[in-house]
Amino acid sequence: MKSHDYYRKKAEELVSQMTIEEQASQLTYKSPAIERLGVPAYNWWNEALHGVARAGTATVFPQAIGMAAIFDDHFLTKVAKAIALEARAKYNESSKHGDRDIYKGLTLWSPNVNIFRDPRWGRGHETYGEDPFLSSRLGVSFIKGLQGDSEFLMTAACVKHFAVHSGPEDLRHEFNAEVSLKDLWETYLPAFEACVKEGQVEAVMGAYNRTNGEPCCGSYALLRDILREQWGFQGHVVSDCWAIKDFHMYHMVTKTPEESVALAIDAGCDLNCGNMYLMLLVALKEGLITEEHITRAAVRLFTTRFKLGLFDQTDFDNIPYEVVDCKEHQELAIEAARKGAVLLKNDGILPIDKKQVKTIGVIGPNADSRLALKGNYYGSASRYITLLEGIQDEAGDSIRVLYSIGCELVKDRSEVLAQANDRLMEAVTVAEHSDLVILCLGLDETIEGEEGDEGNNYASGDKPDIELPAVQKNLLEKIVATGKPTILCLIAGSAINLSFAHEHCNAVLTTWYPGARGGKAIADLLFGNCSPSGKLPVTFYRSLDNLPPFTDYSMKNRTYRYIEEEPLYPFGYGLTYGNAVCKSAELVGTVELEKDLEITATVQNQSNIAIEDVLQTYIKDEQSKYAVRNTSLCGFLRVALGAHEEKVVKLTISFNSLKVVNDQGERILDSKKFKLYVGFSGPDARSIELTGKTPVCIPIEL
């Protein structure tokens, strides 16, 4: 790709021919045409969280949290490339037909790299989980897949929501997230920094809330000092939608709309998702801003449009419509769902032996739900395969599949005139007449999602707790009470207390929101066509008793790095049908200051089936008072192993992993002794208990 300066100069030349009124008109998400200059209308708002969203047909991949569970940055790049191809194909057709509507452009407002710090947050499933390192690596990979490596950007990615943003949803328009410099630079900013510096992301979206007193879309600390000056960001900044009106309506940091737009554009917000920037000319007339503010923003936005080749002929113009929801992308989405599902418990009931089973009972509100496949921010697939349908297809004619919804997601009855629990008897009957039960429980976007989303049961989109809804807990208890072998398939985007299920179910598989044909993928896992291989990108807690209040942004006792009690299922945990072990691991050469560490590990599959598993490395600082309480992920590698196969693999660990963040937010080397753990799960006691394996420990001394 040509240099940023090359495209900026072209933008400057075009913008210089515009009147100040024309320039200002380009700074809202619905940029009108300037016909005398040959500038077509352009709508900046498009979404691509796990597929091109809200613009008709597209491949619907698993929700972001499900793709995070794959722990494979290269695979995520592959997914993002498929999404970008479909976005280009759809753009080619819409522009050809003069359709410049919302969700049809090439500026994709993804990925979301906010830290999933609290399991109650309704939008956590849009993220890559609770760990800054994992979020960094996956965010960079997704951006590279969306933007490509050609002369022009295939699409323009946008990393969001900058910064320190993870609920509560119902307070986001007025909330001030207070955070220490240590937590800011240790937890909340690393993924954004990586996406800017390594991913070269084209756009950054500000958050709704304030951070340490400043509204994020008008924050000098975030947008000017950190993003532009410290990180050297050259792209454009967009506000979250209608966030700028919050400045004077809810945050009360300004008094008028004119003051709000002046603050936003002066701090460095170039594009307004909303309509407040229609007041820019009034703010200019009142002397609150200068023409240079408007021109600067316009140049940044047109630089992006030139980078996309919107005023040139590009190879992307020839991408045919037929790539949209094509067979190759559908298969990739199914593969992603297979790789991301996490097996949390298995007493040997899985995989299901078709020769031993004559009747399977499929029960639960998510068994035959299309909505539960999707997550949120999704497109429309050409075909959906629910879990029930996937199981029926895989069972074939040799196994009878009985079905009952059992209960609704939240409501206590299916028929309005019926008594409460009107489907419970049928579900118990199905269980009693089955050799084994596959119980499909969980959530969907009507329970966990974004503030203001239509249909959220809890209005804000956040969860009030981490329990299954009462009707589902009742169903679970009644089914296991039948004594029939029970496999729980949890379809949800966040951590849920599964203590009862862990105690009473024979197997537990979390599928996240597995995408349009997720039922096919999950059936493949249940019947052993492939082995589960996903790992948890979030901690599954036993309760909220010891978690700080939702509004407390301190990391104390949050996530696996700072947790003080034993979790139910720890970060990085996930079983397979095989038995991958790390037999040995060692450093290559000596440790040198500021030089990345190289590790070789000998891994072996001690089983007679082919598997994939994720080799993980964690660092523990032995001396510094600034070290995280527990350990930190610093490397991961998805490994394919044939039956009884042994291989030697290599991992590179950044020297920065040995550094800590002090109270001033500075990343420093503050220790000489470390422990590096290498294994297929974390080094915590709960992981060792659940897997029966202890990671290899490599002492490091500088």
Say whether pLDDT at 669 is over 90.
Answer: yes
| 648 has a pLDDT exceeding 70 | yes
What confidence score (pLDDT) does residue 453 get? 63
Please give the helix or strand (H or E) that residue 480 lies within, else none. Answer: helix 470-480
According to CATH, where is 3.40.50.1700 located in the chain?
334-562
Write down the mean pLDDT value for the chain: 97
Confidence (pLDDT) at 40: 97
Alpha-carbon distance 597 to 36, whole Å? 58
* Dist CA 378 CA 300 (whole Å): 29
At position 59, the amino acid (one-letter code) is T
Give the CATH fold of the 334-562 domain: Rossmann fold (3.40.50)
pLDDT tens-digit readout, 474-533: 999 999 999 999 999 999 999 999 999 999 999 999 999 999 999 999 999 999 999 999
Q: State residue 451's pLDDT score.
A: 85
Structure token digits, residue 642: 């044939």
With cut-offs at 50, 70 and 90, classify the pLDDT of residue 2. Answer: confident
Q: Cite the residue boundaries of each domain of the chain with CATH code 3.20.20.300.
A: 4-323
Segment holding 1, helix H or strand E: none
CATH of domain 580-701: 2.60.40.10
Q: What's the gap between Cα 104 and its chain centre? A: 22
pLDDT digits (tens, 9 = 90+) for 294-343: 999 999 999 999 999 999 999 999 999 999 999 999 999 999 999 999 99
Q: Can you tell me the distance from the alpha carbon of 178 to that of 473, in angstroms, rounded to the nearest whole number?
A: 36
**Residue 228 has what pLDDT?**
98
- Say if residues 203 and 166 touch (Cβ distance below 8 Å): no
| pLDDT value, residue 460 | 67
419, exposed or middle or buried, with CB in 10 Å at 0-12, 13-18, 19+? exposed
Residue 701 CB coordination number (10 Å): 9
CA 73/CA 139 separation, integer angstroms: 9
Q: Please name every residue paired with 620 in a beta bridge, in sequence order, or none if there are none.
A: 675
User: Residue 327: enclosing H or E segment and its boundaries?
Assistant: helix 327-340
Vertex 389: Cα angle to 393 and 446 (nearest 5): 160
The contacts of residue 9 (CB under 8 Å, 6+ apart) are: none
- Measure the CA–CA gap between 24 and 26, rounded to whole angstroms: 5
pTM of this prediction exceeds 0.75: yes
Q: What residues are annotated to the active site?
A: 240
Phi, psi of 404 (to 5 degrees): -150, 140
Alpha helices in 269-321 (DSSP H): 280-285, 291-307
Task: Please tell me the predicted confidence (pLDDT) of residue 618.
Answer: 98
Beta 646-653 vs 597-605: how paired, if at all?
Answer: antiparallel
Query: Residue 501: which of 345, 356, 657 has the closest Cα?
Result: 345
365 contacts 405 by C-beta, under 8 angstroms: yes
Q: What is the DSSP letter of 67?
A: H
User: Which segments within 5-155 are labelled E, that is strand?
Assistant: 30-31, 42-43, 107-108
The DSSP call for residue 279 is G
The residues near 417 (Cβ < 8 Å, ≥ 6 apart) are: none
Q: How many residues does the chain have?
A: 702
Residues 524/530, Cβ–Cβ less than 8 Å: yes
Tell me which residue of 676, 673, 611 sits closest to 640, measured CA to CA.
611
Task: Render pLDDT for 422-463 as a digit per residue (tens, 0 to 9).
Answer: 999 999 999 999 999 999 999 999 999 998 765 555 556 999
Give residue-wise pLDDT tens across range 109-151.
999 999 999 999 999 999 999 999 999 999 999 999 999 999 9
Look-up of token digits 């800011």: 184
In 3D space, the residue among 435, 438, 353 whose CA is nearest the CA of residue 391 turns out to be: 438
673-679 and 611-621 beta bridge pairing: antiparallel
- Domain boundaries for CATH 2.60.40.10 within the chain: 580-701
Fold assignment, 4-323: TIM Barrel (3.20.20)
Outline where 42-131 has alpha helix (H). 64-68, 73-96
- Here the tokens at position 239 are 């506000």
| Strand boundaries in 445-532, DSSP class E | 486-491, 507-510
Average pLDDT over residues 188-213: 98
